[in-house]
A and B are shown apart, each in its own frame.
Chain A
């Protein structure tokens, strides 16, 4: 029996976990935290906290987008990148790096690429009005494959000194987060994305079961599908623009949350969406903290760590089913 009480209990424990992950991210690093030292305060408030908040927002956006894509495609293996949004962003970002553009040009072109991919997939999949999930999935996968080819081409043509920057971008890396949106703006985007979808959570529960049955129960199916496509794509675009194509957060976090909640309410979007946001945010904060401390002073791209954690966890989950 789904109850508000159970949902609030789960969310409360995740809020505590989120706060703990942020505190850890701020506390850990080459410089010890010492509130009496100006330098230490500067490190905490100007470097660590903004980076941790950006990581939290990106992780939350990716996990939310993943949960929404899984409903939209009615497929538990869907992730935020399956429809080509990150492919478009990668082409944009790598072009900017290749052309030697600096500053806002990299996130700017990445966002433009993500939007272009999103509109292309929507335009083609929606073309004849049928807009079935198979057609949508096929269009997205093909556009993603096309972007992959362009990315490979750029990597081949790029001069050697630009390769490392490109690879870091592709694997996902939060050290570039300070180039894009302010962390507080990112958190605001995350809040808006969640606030836009949460009122429709019970409708999403029905949509995840069957489109026709949802319609017979009074859900405005075409509107809702378009809305979650747009919200999930924009959330992905903003996260990818900020931190690169960080893998596996969007795929495994909703599944981790389902597993943790258990069967009763495990697929209730009223709980799954906010819980995924909190869990995705905390996971990326922890992964990023690990990424820049585990082999310090060498910084690992956080996307490598999320994938290294994500792949075995996901295979384990698949094996259990």
Chain B
């Protein structure tokens, strides 16, 4: 198991996000984390990434606790895409994607041509080829989101924790990004946990889902079992309906 959480309890301030949460992600597994705004999806993901300690329970990355792994070794195993895009200082797209190579470089070495190749391939994967020397701050929000995902890809980790990877992306790039993650899961065995806001994407691109209800309770399991009218209506506090059409494989959920 690349990610294993047992009896995990997470809270922020006085808000309980989850209690007794069990997650096990092996090679190629994709988990969708769903919930309303403020339900604690980002906090849970940051906890899974080892950026903040859980209140209780066990968390193992490739069989080891974060404390035993060390920051550098952890950074070679798991990548984390946050929501915050720091841009106080100017930098090029290529320099930004090369930050993903940091954990693979020793203290005094500089980025090699092979690091540059990996970064350029990641840019091409995110449909950003030819943008290498653009200044990051001249890019649109969606383009910057794709640069951040490219940096995560360049990190080449076996586990990716993505907090709202589809934020700011147009529909075309939303699908392309999810397809890319699914392809990496299939061909390279990269496991993912991602915060999504569309249950249909979860159904189509992930094999399991975690629903955070915001009151400390949760439901987790295979997408086909966990995602239904009742659970989604409760999750979003809005009636959801399951629709079956002949020109689309699988069911669709729509808000009434």
Contact = CB atoms under 8 A, between A and B. Distances in A.
Interface of A: 1-4, 70, 74-76, 199, 202-203, 205-206, 208-210, 212-213, 215-220, 258, 263-268, 270
A76 B111 contact: no
Nearest to A73: B88
Contacts of A199: 107-108
A208 B107 contact: no
A218 B88 CA distance: 21
Interface residues of B, number: 40
Contacts of A213: 80, 82, 84, 86, 99
10 contacts: A74-B86, A210-B82, A212-B82, A215-B71, A217-B99, A217-B102, A217-B155, A258-B90, A263-B133, A266-B91
A76 B89 contact: yes
A205 B101 CA distance: 13
Contacts of B133: 263-264
A293 B141 CA distance: 53
B189 to A, nearest CB: 21
A212 B84 contact: yes
B124 interface: no
Contact of B86 (A3, A208, A215, A217): A208
Contacts of B76: 218
Contacts of B46: 212
A270 B100 CA distance: 17
A267 B107 CA distance: 18
A217 B88 contact: no
Given A220-B71, A264-B133, A2 B98 contact: yes
B85 A210 contact: yes
A268 B95 contact: yes
Given A215-B51, A216-B79, A264-B133, A1 B116 contact: yes
Contact of B80 (A3, A76, A206, A216): A216
Given A2-B95, A76-B89, A218-B72, 18 more contacts: A1-B98, A1-B132, A2-B98, A4-B110, A74-B86, A75-B88, A76-B88, A206-B99, A212-B51, A213-B86, A216-B75, A216-B82, A217-B99, A217-B100, A218-B75, A218-B76, A220-B71, A270-B110
Contacts of B95: 2, 264-265, 267-268
Given A202-B102, A216-B51, A266-B90, A210 B155 contact: no
A162 B2 CA distance: 71
Contacts of B87: 209
A202 B102 CA distance: 8
Contacts of A75: 88
A217 B103 CA distance: 6
Contacts of B51: 212, 215-216
A206 B102 contact: yes
Contact of A264 (B78, B79, B92, B102): B92
A217 B80 CA distance: 8
Contacts of A220: 71
Nearest to A270: B110
Contacts of B98: 1-2
Interface string B210-254: 000000000000000000000000000000000000000000000
Nearest to B82: A212
Please indicate which of the listed interface residues B71, B89, B111, B155 has the most CB atoms of chain A within 10 Å of its own CB.
B89
Contacts of B89: 70, 76, 208-209, 258, 267
Interface in B54-108: 71-76, 78-80, 82, 84-92, 94-96, 98-100, 102-103, 105, 107-108
B206 interface: no
A75 B88 CA distance: 6
B88 A208 contact: yes
Nearest to A267: B89
Contacts of A264: 92, 95, 133
B170 interface: no
* 7 tightest A-B CB contacts, nearest first: A218-B75, A210-B86, A216-B80, A218-B72, A209-B86, A267-B89, A218-B71
